[in-house]
Amino acid sequence: MKKLLFIGLLFIGLNLTAQTDSRIYDIINAVSAERIESDITTLANFGTRHTLSDTISETRGIGAARRWIKSEFDKISADCSNCLNVFYQKDLVKKGENQRIVKDVWVVNVVAIQKGTKYPNRYIIMSGDIDSRVSDPTDFESDSPGANDNASGMAGTIEAARVLSKYKFESSVIYLGLSGEEQGLFGGKGLAAFAKEKGWDIIGIINNDMIGNIKGVDGVVSNRDFRIFSEPVPPTETERQRRARRFYGGEVDGISRQLARYVHKTTKTYMPEMNPTMIYRLDRFGRGGHHRPFNDAGYAGIRIMESHENYTQQHQDIRVENGIAYGDVLEHVNFEYAKKLTAVNAINLASIAWAPPAPETVEIGGIVEPSAKLKWNKVDGARGYKIYWRETTSPTWDNSRYVGDLTEATLDGIVIDNYFFGVASVGADGHESMVVFPNKIFR
């Protein structure tokens, strides 16, 4: 009997570290390519969703598009006993703010919040964009279906809401449609400021921008590859923090990078058929996306995106030139692939929203000693903690040790100089918080 009990406990211990919550597989299976196809088609059929386009028509322009998105979130909410709080968040952007704002415009985002049961003020966000554009960024009248850029990200966000609204989470989940992206990232800027003003504790934003193209302009075809963009350290860090990095490390361990590693790991664990590539940069070379304004405000934020882009199918007037069909039209979107990347988002939102908060303070010691030492603060709701470490040249947290409900641990024989370290909280179901890079030194 005693022996059996011991084995039972051992299995609980294993479960805590293996992350095998079967609900995660249910979530992957519940994501529907058919519904994503239907939603991308609806969005593309609004003709144009340019930020400056018509807002009165019921069938064409960004007004009709955002009202439809809101009505979809309202429907999802009605299906889960009003589990979503759905509203518009808007800011007036004045003509001349930049060259792409050729008249005054209300930049209107659609927000759907699924309140957390235990930590209602902690938020993990998934976003896509409402707006689209053609060759001339100020052309708000020509047909601009924006099927991949970015009806795919918007449809994925709506579908994630459908699937996840069937569950209850400890932290809040926000499904977010942002506008004004192509005109200068205005929607993200507005929403980040709104979040600051409300005092929201944002865990991070997973921004989806173009998750539907599998055929690269260079001929590479893959329905398994995707990219996770993240900046190395927050632009809001202080001069003191910057100087400390020279001596204690952290050049590639900012909060957005930890979110990128989290998504990479969750994908590898539950969807091993996928090939996520972490790209160690804010975004594509010189280009923008809606996670950036959140980064600017000091929040963790990453961009999820296809790996193989086709530049003849983004930001283009619909036309045929030299035998090439230009334009971001429905025919080029692979809905099964958009489904996979939507599932990647959904399982990460769920894992993070089911996990306890990360420790706020992680201290590291072990200078001129043979073993590294870590201390952290106790987290309400954490069943235990996991110490992670990796070689300094590795992009992923390759080594880990679950240490149970302690607030300090020594890694015997692991010399502090030769690795980077971090600590995560582990919840009752084995879901883990983001890894926290040490933010204090002790001797």
Amino acid found at 336: E
Residues 6+ apart with CB under 8 A from 195: 123, 202, 297, 299
Of the candidate spans 145-153, 214-222, 249-257, 352-360, the one that interacts with Zn ion by CB under 5 A turns out to be 145-153
Measured from the CB atom, is 149 or 170 closer to Zn ion? 149
Least CB distance to Zn ion at residue 120 (A): 33
Burial (Cβ within 10 Å: 0-12, 13-18, ≥19) of residue 183: buried
DSSP one-letter string for 355-382: SPPPPS-EEEE-TTSSSEEEEE---TT-
Q: Which is nearer to Zn ion, 149 or 306 (CB)?
A: 149
Decide: 307 and 213 in contact? Cβ < 8 Å.
no
Site for Zn ion in 336-375 (CB under 5 A): none
Q: Is 149 in the site for Zn ion (CB under 5 A)?
A: yes
**Which sign does the torsion angle of CA 5, 8, 13, 14 carry?**
positive
When the beta carbons of 51 and 425 are compared against Zn ion, the nearer one is 51
Please say which residue, 267 or 334, places its beta carbon nearer to Zn ion.
334
Task: Report the nearest approach of Zn ion to the CB of residue 186 (Å).
Answer: 13
Residue 181 CB, nearest distance to Zn ion (Å)? 7
Give rounded-to-5 percent helix, strand, coil for the chain: 35, 25, 40
Binding residues for Zn ion, how many (CB under 5 A)?
1
Least distance (Å) between residue 288 CB and Zn ion? 8
In the complex, the smallest distance separating the C-beta of residue 134 from Zn ion, rounded to whole angstroms, is: 11
- Look up residue 163 and give its DSSP letter: H
Contact stretch for Zn ion (CB under 5 A) within 142-150, 324-332, 370-378, 424-432: 142-150
Per rule CB under 5 A, is residue 283 in the interface with Zn ion? Answer: no
Interface region with Zn ion, contact rule CB under 5 A, candidates 141-149, 197-205, 325-333, 385-393: 141-149
Reading the block at residue 306, the tokens are 């296809």
Nearer to Zn ion, 144 or 256 (CB): 144
Q: Which of the ranges 69-77, 147-155, 245-253, 431-439 carries the binding residues for Zn ion, by CB under 5 A? A: 147-155
Contact 177, 128 (CB under 8 A): yes
Piece of the chain touching Zn ion by CB under 5 A; list 97-105, 143-151, 230-238, 431-439: 143-151
Q: Residue 29 and residue 161: Cα distance in Å, rounded?
A: 14
Q: Which is nearer to Zn ion, 272 or 286 (CB)?
A: 286
> Which of the ranges 148-156, 165-173, 235-243, 426-434 carries the binding residues for Zn ion, by CB under 5 A?
148-156
Give the nearest distance from C-beta 177 to Zn ion in angstroms.
15
Nearer to Zn ion, 37 or 149 (CB): 149
CB of 112 to Zn ion, least distance (A): 22
- Pick the stretch among 10-18, 149-157, 297-305, 350-358 that binds Zn ion (CB under 5 A): 149-157
| Nearest to 178, CA basis, from 130, 124, 144, 137 | 130
Kindly provide the b/e burial profile for residues 121-160, where b requires at least 16 CB atoms within 10 angstroms of the residue's own CB. ebbbbbbbbbbbbbeebebbeeebbbbbbbbbbbbbbbbb
Which pair of tokens denotes residue 50? 């340019």
Give the shortest CB-129-to-Zn ion separation in angstroms. Answer: 8
- Shortest distance in whole angstroms from residue 283 CB to Zn ion: 11
Q: Which two tokens stand for residue 439?
A: 């933010």
CB of 306 to Zn ion, least distance (A): 13
Q: CB of 134 within 8 A of CB of 128?
A: no
CA–CA gap between residue 422 and residue 411 (Å, rounded): 12
Query: Which lies closer to Zn ion via its Cβ, residue 180 or residue 250?
Result: 180
Tell me if residue 186 falls in helix, strand or coil.
helix
Residue 328 in the binding site for Zn ion (CB under 5 A): no
Decide whether 183 or 256 has the Cβ nearer to Zn ion.
183
CB distance 333 to 147 below 8 Å: yes
Which residues in this chain contact Zn ion in the complex, by CB under 5 A?
Answer: 149
